[in-house]
Structure 1
């Protein structure tokens, strides 16, 4: 017991996803474990997870009871509830490791755990703030949330000024933090993303982990795979959380434009869930796209691998709002890692990630995005493969977890002096 208390202890706190579904946090937890630290992850019991404790791959996972709010008031209630429950669980975990070096890492959104960071600093615990999303800018970009922006700005300031170390996945976010708060954040780009694929494949099966939902979605995808035994159309995929700021309805509008332009030989498959999914389904029906667009819902880990292995291109339709320009989007890095060609709108951080190796729209309009998709469809397979290979090489050289894990460990690990 004494040895366990004195072992360097890292506690990671998340408010909006459980582990191991949250790839960024899980890769960080595994790296800290491999560096000799005892690791605990505090996270919400959502997406099919139950409250309680379990040990996974040598990591203590503590899931607190939570819920997912819809609308401004419910989302605010969710934020305050999860912050309170997470802080209680994190304090309990850290109190159990007195006598050794300790580290507390808080991942947003939201930025409501600055009282926990203050408490940790007073106890001599190294504090790390992982800014995944710019919450005040996100609030400004969403209807019904803009009036909460001053509160989110105040919370963000307290998090950044309290933390010993600030990390972020985005160069755009890093520049904002430096300009606004005078802090130099450390870029920790991505999580572990297996990138192997067989030579000649268009898509690349990987081990992308996603929250587990009902078996119906997996069965739906299996049925679609069986139905594709006929000569397949080119498959444009979309993968991710589906919120107001993610632009899925814009993708549907672009597909409708392609159809009106006479484009054929393709179909669209959407994997993901979120508050905007019902509206997207209804929009597809209104546009008459039900035969062209398939919605799979939120997929389990095996089904996500299957999905990524059978799409021929990744669509990134996220629209022009201030928040999206800051985001280093997982769907972009996952596609780059697996050698899947990407069609995207020219958001600043996505353009930085792909470094010219994508089918980039000329501007942010839906018409231009449809034209980028049309260029991808018209390109020869060899042309698509060349662009995808260049994107994959860029990922491996600059964005991959092996490039960033040592920097992360050096900055935050309690096993280091």
Structure 2
């Protein structure tokens, strides 16, 4: 039987130790006096608790398939639903799961929301991705029936939640369009805590110590992420700058990794493009602090206009100038710390990167503006209070009296785009 108020977090698309947003959420809940269990796909088999946490329990389940077609995804989602349902019911019978948070994708867990709410347990939807738009971005020309089905599932997921946590104002607006009371939607942006970023002692340093400029991409390698655009931008850069004095570092992993490695080899780019694989938090911090410029190759699709990429705040937190397509939420996040291109073609990215590499004064100014923006608005410290307040409110009767105080969000923390130039 749980002694402290207990939150169970459900994830379907990543092992818990790879989801930096969920890690930060767990640590925030721990600090506010909650116990936490995370039910997620199996990752590192040696882990029993979340790395860096006090006692957040991991309850992994086996992954049996990763597919690329509609039926493969349907099977994968069905399997994850079954595994999560069994483990969640076990948590309820064990006296835990006083409140549940589900993270998408996919949007298939609304029947569990109905079940948990029927027995008086709050259900919070942490809205990571717009699934219909992700599907459209992945396939190019979406099947209208699949798109409509995903839209219905999103509607059900939003409407069956007790409250919704949205990653930006566009997601909050989307929830309101789906009929959710805006007062039940809290904006909690993605982004590292200041403690995750090592101090360098040289806030004005923009030139690489080894004389080799590093152009960095950080994140997932999926069809919708357009990482091939970064590889092709590297090819364009070889024509503009030659093959010395710079490198492109692609840090991450995902289903597109084999195709990207093949593309780099076929284009003769193995000497200027480096793949690091998936990195832990310390390695992410190190590689971004060494970066001269970051690239965000996401194309101007509806999904990308409405989404705040986690990598964007990782970049700006280290003061790295970012080259990106001119997307609504990207501009709301970066402001003048970004250099924007209209269409996101490899040639446009290469031209913007080339110009920045030759302009240390502009990079220095972008670095300064980015760090100021991060420290005053975007860091996890500005999000944690609003996030914890959701569960403090929902589980107030289970919290000790000293812990019940609901913190008022700092300016910009609850709805950050009110102070950003969206």
Measure, in 2, the Cα distance between the counterparts of 1:279 and 1:61: 32
Residue 12 (structure 2) aligns with: 15
Residues 246-255 or 190-199, more deviating: 190-199
Residue 106 (structure 1) aligns with: 102
- Offset from partner CA, 1:84-114 (integer Å, 9 cap, x none): 101211121122227xx92111110001111
Q: Quote the offset at 1:412 in angstroms.
A: 2.3
Contact 1:344 1:372 in 2 (8 A): no
Residue 380 (structure 2) aligns with: 401
- 1:58 is the counterpart of 2:52: no
- Offset from partner CA, 1:349-400 (integer Å, 9 cap, x none): 11110012212224433332222112211112x4312211211111221111
Measure, in 2, the Cα distance between the counterparts of 1:398 and 1:88: 40
| Aligned counterparts, 1:97-176, within 5 A | 97=95, 102-143=98-139, 146=143, 147-176=145-174
Q: Quote the offset at 1:401 in angstroms.
A: 1.2
Residue 245 (structure 2) aligns with: 265
* Cα 1:192/1:369, change in 2 over 3 Å: closer
Contact 1:165 1:412 in 2 (8 A): no
Contact 1:174 1:187 in 2 (8 A): yes
Contact 1:203 1:311 in 2 (8 A): no
- 1:253 is the counterpart of 2:232: yes
Q: Quote the offset at 1:62 in angstroms.
A: 0.9
Query: Normalising by the residue count of structure 1, what TM-score does the alignment of the two structures yield?
Result: 0.85
- Can you give the 5+ residue segments of structure 1 that lack an aligned partner in the other structure? 205-227
Secondary structure of the structure 2 residue equivalent to 1:57 = coil
Query: Normalising by the residue count of structure 2, what TM-score does the alignment of the two structures yield?
Result: 0.84
Residue 390 (structure 2) aligns with: 411
Residues 403-412 or 176-185, more deviating: 176-185
- Offset from partner CA, 1:232-263 (integer Å, 9 cap, x none): 32110111110111111111222222222345
Contact 1:35 1:415 in 2 (8 A): no
Residue 276 (structure 2) aligns with: 296
| Aligned counterparts, 1:305-344, within 5 A | 305-344=285-324
Contact 2:158 2:178 in 1 (8 A): no
Q: Quote the offset at 1:308 in angstroms.
A: 2.5
- Can you give the 5+ residue segments of structure 2 that lack an aligned partner in the other structure? 398-422
Q: Quote the offset at 1:161 in angstroms.
A: 0.8
Secondary structure of the structure 2 residue equivalent to 1:294 = strand
Residue 366 (structure 2) aligns with: 387
Contact 1:202 1:312 in 2 (8 A): no
CA RMSD of aligned residues (A): 2.4
